[in-house]
Amino acid sequence: MWLMQDLLRKEWGFKGVAVSDHGAINELIKHGVAKDSREAAKLAIKAGIDMSMNDKAYGEELPGLLKSGEVPQSDLDNAVREVLGAKYDMGLFADPYLRIGKAEDDPADVKADSRLHRAEAREVARKSLVLLKNQNETLPLKKQTRIALVGPLAKAPIDIMGSWAAAGQPAQSVTVFDGMRNA
């Protein structure tokens, strides 16, 4: 609750929709944070997750949690307000079909390999890197340093992109092995 409610919304002033990662609410069970889907949904809505991404926890559990009083109506109202506000801001109340089209017409897919997008992605990556502690001045690595690079993703150009690569192509990715070798 502290991270989503106190820090994100109150201290940083975030206004918008907080969406769980794909299936993340039910992952709370697998990680031992919640004993079942009901508890996972309760923890997530109380923490400030407005929208559940592709799991059934909210749809199946929130009605019972509301009825029992374990989750107040105000928690659900806050989540719904954020989601509907985002839809309104995107113009979906005026035209609910505004953003529907063929997948190949999606600029994210069509222009996935454009130089402009790649330059923007590199700039975002550069700005997002954070070195928390460079103990013993390990970085930058010296050319003569030997490193054991092991594991199934070391030379896996498709897998390294992850499951959400959209129209990403293996030729667009740099494996960890190649990146380390060419650095």
Pair 41, 57: CB distance under 8 Å? yes
Say if CB 17 and CB 32 are below 8 A apart.
Answer: no
Residue 95 is among the residues annotated as catalytic for this protein: no
Spatial distance between the Cα atoms of 171 and 5, rounded to a whole number of angstroms: 41
Sign of CA dihedral 84, 89, 95, 100: negative
User: What is the rounded distance in angstroms from the CA atom of residue 61 to the CA atom of residue 29?
Assistant: 14
How distant, in Å, are the alpha carbons of 33, 58, 66, 157, 181 from that of 23? 14, 11, 22, 25, 36
Nearest to 139 by CA among 131, 149, 127, 147: 131
Q: Which listed residue (21, 36, 95, 113) is catalytic?
A: 21
Rounded distance between C-alpha atoms, residue 175 and residue 156, angstroms: 6
Please identify every residue annotated as catalytic: 21
